[in-house]
Chains A and B, each alone.
Chain A
Amino acid sequence: MTLSISELEEFARKCRVEIVKMVYRAQAGHPGGSLSEIDLISALYATRMRVRPDQPKWEDRDRFILSKGHASPGMYAVLAEMGFIDHEDLHSYRVLGGKCQGHVDMKWCPGVDFSAGSLGMGLSFGLGCAVAARLDNSERRTFVMIGDGEIQEGSVWEAAMAAAHHEVGNLKVILDRNRIQNDDFCEAQMRMFDIPAKWRAFGWEVKEIDGHNMEEVMSGLDFLEATNDKPAILIAHTIKGAGVSFMENNPSFHGAAPNDEQFAQAMLELGEVIV
C-alpha cells in the first residue's frame, strides 16, 4: 500500500480511537503502551508488511511479533483496519470466547503470529522465524516490537547475541522507548543507561527516531528494510499514552481503563464525536 503521511496519520488516529474504546468497554487492559506503539505499527502494516489479510496463514508473509503482548489493543485496531478481523471483533476484547484475548494470541486471532503476554519471549521467537525464512530461501522478514521495560529481561539479550552471531539480516526490531513500565518510570524501576550503545555492542545496526513523527517513522522503516546483513533495531522515542492528554507520561495508565468522563474527554481529544 502507498499512503501519504497525512493518510497514515489518519490511519493511526482511527486506531487510537479504537484502542481507547476497547479498553473503556472492557474496563481493563493496557492503553498506555498501545497508544505509544500505534504510529509505528500503523505505518509498518500500512506500508511495509507483505501480508494477505484474506489469507492470514500465507506461508511467505512477513511476520510481526508483538512481544509486548499486553499492548494488544493497538495490534487489534491495526488488524481490523487492515481487514484481518472485522471492526465488530474489537468488541470481543477481553470477552469470553473473543478473538481479541487480553494478550495477543495466535490461537485465537487471525493475523497474530505469536502468543505473547510473557515479556522477553518475542525476540527469541522472531529469531526462530528469521532462521526458518533463511532455511526456506524465503524473502519474508520478521518484525518484532519490544518494550523498553521488557528489555530488562535477560532472555532479550540472549536473543540479541544469538541474532548477531547468526547474522540474521531478516530480523528487524522496533523498540517502543516510552520510558515507563508497569509500576513506574523505567528510571525508577531499573536504569538502563545507554540503550543504543548496548545494542551496538551486541552487534546490531541501530537508528533512533521520534516514534510519533510519521516522516521519521517512515525513514526508520526504510532503515530497517535496507539493513540486510545484520539484525537491525529501530529505537523509537515515544510517549506512553500518546494522544490522550491525561494518559500521556502517566504510569497509572499502563494498565487501567478510563472512566466515563475520561472516555468522553479522550474521544474529544482524538477528534471522535460520540453519537
Chain B
Amino acid sequence: MSEMAATRDGYGQALLEIADNAKVVVLEADLGKSTKSLHFKNKYPARSISCGIGEQNMLLTAAGLASSGYIPFASTFAIFTERAFEQMRNGVARPDLAVHLCGSHGGTHTGTDGSSAQSIEDLAIYRTLPNVVVMHPSDYVSTLELTKQLPALNKPSYMRTARNKTPVMYRGRESEIVIGKGITLRQGTDVAIIACGVLVSESMKAAELLAEKGINATVVDMHTLKPLDGDLIDSLASQCGAIVTAEDHNVIGGLGGAVAEHLVTNKYAPLEMVGVADRFGESGQSDEMLEVMKLNSKYIEQAAQRAIARKS
C-alpha cells in the first residue's frame, strides 16, 4: 500500500516550515486541532491568535494584520470559512490584502459529521472573488509545497484541505508544484481527466480502468482553480479532444465550472463533469460518500467513456 497522509497535515507542517519568516502569524477559530494549525500554536504561541468560535472576527483581524505588514494564515473548516464570506469579499479581497485562508474538512469525503460539515460550495464562492487565488491540493506533499509558496504570493488566497488521508504522490517531485500550474500525472490521447483534491487519486484509478479497455487517458492535477491553467487546458483540448473534470464539490461553479467557462471561450472540446449533483450530503464513511455522490473511479471512468462518445 502506498503512503497515505491527510492534506490538512501538510498545511500544519508547512506553517512550521515557514515560521522562520517573523511576519507569519496564525489565526484560528477553535479548530486548530482539526485544521492542524495547532502545531504552530504550540511552538510559537506569541504569533498565534485565538479568535474563539468567531470566524467573521478572525477574517478581519487577519486583514488588519495583513495591512500592517504581517502574513496571516487563518484556518477553520471549509464550511465555517463561508460564514465569513462577506468579510473575505469586502475586507480581504476588495483591498487585495494577502490573507491566506485555509478551509479544512472540505467535501463530502469529510464523512460522518454529515451535511452541515461537508462544504460542497467553497471553491465556487471563493472563485467568484476578484484577486483571490483558489487552491485544492490532492496530497500531503503538494499541500506542503503550495502553502510554503504563499508568503511570497502577495495576494489573498483560499486553500481547501481534506480531513481524511489520501495517497501521497509527490515525494521527490516537489519542484513540479507551482501555484497556478496544473500537473500532468499521466499521458494519454483519448481523453483528459482534470481533477482536484481527493478525486485526483480516484482519477488515476479511473485511468487504469480505462487502460484495461484500451483507452489512454491523460490525468491532470489541477490544484489551482484560480488562476486557472488555461494553456494546459487548451493543449488537452487539442491533444485529447474530450475532457472530464472530477471534484468532491458541487458541479456548479467549481473545477467543472471553471474548465467549462474556459472551454467555451477558447478551444472547445466535449466536457463531462463528475461532481456532487447539486444536492447536500449526509453522514457516511468517506468511501461510502464517494459512492453515494457518484464521485469515485467507477463514475469517472463512465464519464470518460461518455466524453469520448461525444467527440465529433
A142 at the B interface (CB under 8 A): no
A33 at the interface (CB under 8 A from B): no
Given A105-B114, A118-B79, A96 and B288 contact (CB-CB distance below 8 Å): yes
Beta-carbon contact of B115 and A105 below 8 Å: yes
By a CB distance below 8 angstroms, the chain A residues around B116 are 69, 102-103, 105, 115-118
Complex interface: chain A residues within 8 A of B83 (CB): 118, 120
Beta-carbon contacts of B104-125 to A below 8 Å, as 1s and 0s?
0000000111111100000000
Interface size class of B (residues with CB under 8 A): 20 to 34
Cross-chain contact of B30 among A97, A102, A182 (Cβ < 8 A): A182
**Interface residues of A, count at CB 8 A:** 31
Which residue of the partner chain B has the closest CB to A191? Answer: B52
Report Cα–Cα, A98/B79, bound state, in Å. Answer: 22
Query: Given the interface contacts A117-B117, A182-B33, does A96 sit within 8 Å of B53 by beta carbon?
Result: no
Are B80's CB and A96's CB within 8 A?
Answer: no
Residue A190 interfacial (CB < 8 Å): yes
Instruction: Report the bound CA distance from A96 to B114 in whole Å.
Output: 9
* In the complex with contacts A96-B283, A96-B288, A102-B283, A181-B53 CB distance below 8 A: yes
> Is there a chain A Cβ closer than 8 Å to B149's Cβ?
no
How many Å from the CB of A262 to the closest CB on chain B? 19
Give chain B residues whose Cβ lies under 8 Å from the Cβ of A101: 114-115, 282-283
Chain B residues near A161: list those with CB within 8 A.
Answer: none
User: Are the C-beta atoms of B33 and A183 separated by less than 8 Å?
Assistant: yes
A150 to B52, CA, bound (A): 9
Chain B residues whose CB sits within 8 angstroms of the CB of A188 once the complex forms:
50
Per the bound structure, the CA–CA distance linking A115 and B288 in Å amounts to: 22
- Cβ-defined contact, B285 with A103, below 8 A: no
Q: Is B159 an interface residue (CB 8 A)?
A: no
> Could you say which residues of chain A place their CB within 8 Å of the CB of B57?
154
In whole angstroms, what is the CA distance A4 to B283 when docked? 37
Smallest CB gap from B52: residue in A: A190
By beta carbon, the residue of chain B nearest A152 is B52
* Alpha-carbon separation in the docked complex, A153 to B113 (Å): 20
A183, B117: Cβ atoms closer than 8 Å: no
Closest residue on chain A to residue B51 by CB atoms = A190
Q: In the assembled complex, how far is the CB of residue B295 from the closest CB belonging to chain A, in whole angstroms? A: 15
Q: Contact check, A190 vs B53: say whether CB atoms are below 8 A apart.
A: yes
Question: B28: which A residues are within 8 A, CB to CB?
Answer: 183
Query: CB-nearest residue of chain A relative to B33?
Result: A183
In angstroms, Cα B52 to Cα A182, docked, is 10
Q: A149-B52, A152-B53 are in contact. Are A183 and B38 (CB under 8 A)?
A: yes
Q: How far is the CA of A117 from the CA of B115 in the complex (A)?
A: 9
Residues of chain B contacted by A189 (CB below 8 angstroms)? 30, 50, 52-53
Task: Write the A116-149 contact mask toward B (1 if CB under 8 angstroms, else 0).
Answer: 1111100000000000000000000000000001
Q: Give the CA-CA distance A149 to B50 in the complex, in Å.
A: 13
Q: Is B56 interfacial (CB-CB < 8 Å)?
A: yes
Is B4 part of the binding interface, using a Cβ–Cβ cutoff of 8 Å?
A: no
Asked if B275 lies at the interface with its beta carbon under 8 angstroms from chain A, I say no
Besides the known contacts A28-B111, A102-B116, A190-B30, 16 further A-B residue pairs in the complex with CB atoms under 8 A apart: A26-B112, A102-B114, A102-B117, A102-B283, A103-B116, A105-B115, A118-B80, A118-B116, A120-B53, A153-B54, A181-B52, A182-B31, A183-B28, A183-B38, A189-B50, A190-B54
Interface residues of B (CB under 8 A from A): 28, 30-34, 38, 50-54, 56-57, 79-80, 83, 111-117, 282-285, 288, 292
Q: Which residues of A contact B (CB under 8 A)?
A: 26, 28-29, 69, 94-98, 101-103, 105, 108, 115-120, 149-150, 152-154, 181-183, 188-190
